[in-house]
Amino acid sequence: MNEWYSIENKEQNAEISIYDEIGSFGTSAKGFIKEISNIGDKDITIRMNSVGGNVFDGIAIYNALRSHRGYVNIKIEGLAASISTVIAMAGDNIEMSENGFFMIHNPFGQSQGEATDMRKTAELLDKIKNEIIEIYQNKVNLPYEELSNMMDKETWLSSEEALEMGFVNYITEPIKVAATFDLSKFTNVNQDMVNDKLLLTNKKVKMTEELKTWFNSLKEEIVMAVKGEEVSAPKNEVSVLLSDNEEVTNKLEELSNSVTELNNEKEELSGIVSEKESLIAELENKVSEMEAKLNKSEATETIVEADTEPAINSDDVIVNEWDTFAKSILK
C-alpha cells in the first residue's frame, strides 16, 4: 500500500521522508506516531516535500515531534505548504533548499447540514487557525494580526523570505524535486512558476542579433588586448540590461565576489610564500655557518716531529776558506 512517508531507523539516528499529501492513501498519523515512538531517543532528520494534507494528522505529528527527546532536524527539500509548514515548526533546526517554497493559508473544511452545523464548522476552523498561529509564533517573532493576514491571503514565501521572517534557520543548495503537485486547489499561486523552480527548469532566452554582434566584437577586443594590439573604441555601443533577470544578476554578483576572494587569497598566499622563502634562505645561511664552525672545531693542529734529534759533526761544519786551509795543514 502506498504511504505518504517512509522511516529508516538506523543504528545511530533515524531519517524520515514526507514526500506526499499527509494522511493520504488511507494512512493516518496514528501509524506515523507509533513508528516515531519506536525510534527512542535517537536524533531524527525529516526530509520534506509536501503539499499539506489532513490538518488533524499534521497537528498530531507536530506534537509528537515536539515531545521527542532526540534532536529533530527538518530539511524542506521542495515545497512545504499548508499543514506541512506546521510539522516543520517542530524542528530544533529547520533548513530549506534555495529553490523551495513555504506556503501558509487558512485551514479548509467541509460541512453538511443546517446553519447551526455550518456555524460549528466555522468556529472549529477559527480554533484551528488560532492554534496554528500559536505554533508559528513559537518559532517566529511576528504579531498575531500579521500572521492572520498572511494566512487570509494564502502567502507563498521564497526561501529568502522564509529565512528573513524566521520560519527557517538556514538556506541550503537548490534541490531538484522528484515530483511536483497539482496546486489548482490553491487561489494565490502561479503553478507553472512554482513547479519550474522546484524542478530547476531553465527557461532559455534566444540571443538577439544585436547582442550577438556586441558579444563577438567584445570577444575580438579581448583577443587583441591579450596579443598586445591596440584596441580601438567601439563605434556603436550596445546597452545590455540584465537587471530584469534576477538569477543571472545573482550569479554574476556571486562570480564577481568569488573572483575577488580568490585574488585576495592569491595575494595572501604570495606574501606567505615570500616570507617562507626568506626564512628558508636565512636558515640555510645559519646551517652553513654552523657547519663551518663544526668543521673548524673538529680540525687538529698538524705537528711534524723527527724520530731522533739530528747529530751535529763539527768536522762537517764549514765556516770559511781559512778554516778549510787550516784543517788541511793539521791533517
Residues of the chain with pLDDT under 70: 1-2, 25-27, 202-213, 215, 219, 223, 225-249, 292-293, 295-331
Instruction: With residue 18 as reference, give the H or E element that holds it.
Output: strand 13-18
Tell me the CA distances in angstroms from 1 to 5, 20, 26, 27, 116, one per residue in order.
12, 14, 9, 9, 39
* pLDDT at residue 170, as a whole number: 96
187 near 177, Cβ under 8 Å?
no
Give the model's pLDDT for residue 302.
45
DSSP secondary structure of 276-303: HHHHHHHHHHHHHHHHHHHHHHH-----
Please tell me the predicted confidence (pLDDT) of residue 227. 63
Distance between CA 234 and CA 214 in Å, rounded? 10
User: At which residue does the C-alpha cell 460541512 appear?
Assistant: 111
* Cβ 202 vs Cβ 209: under 8 Å: no
Q: What is the pLDDT of residue 205?
A: 43
* Rg of the chain in Å (alpha carbons): 44
Length of the chain: 331
| Coil, strand or helix at 96 | strand
Q: Coil, helix or strand for 20? A: coil
Q: What is the pLDDT of residue 70?
A: 95
Could you report the per-residue pLDDT of 124-139, keeping only the tens digit for each? 999 999 999 999 999 9
Per the listing, cell 567584445 goes with 218
What does DSSP say about strands 13-18 and 5-9: parallel, antiparallel, or unpaired?
A: antiparallel
Question: Would you say 180 and 195 are in contact if contact means Cβ atoms under 8 Å apart?
Answer: yes
Helical ranges in the chain per DSSP H: 29-39, 55-66, 83-88, 115-137, 144-153, 159-165, 191-198, 209-227, 246-298, 321-330
Q: How far apart are CA 48 and CA 54, in angstroms?
A: 16
Strand partners, 297: none
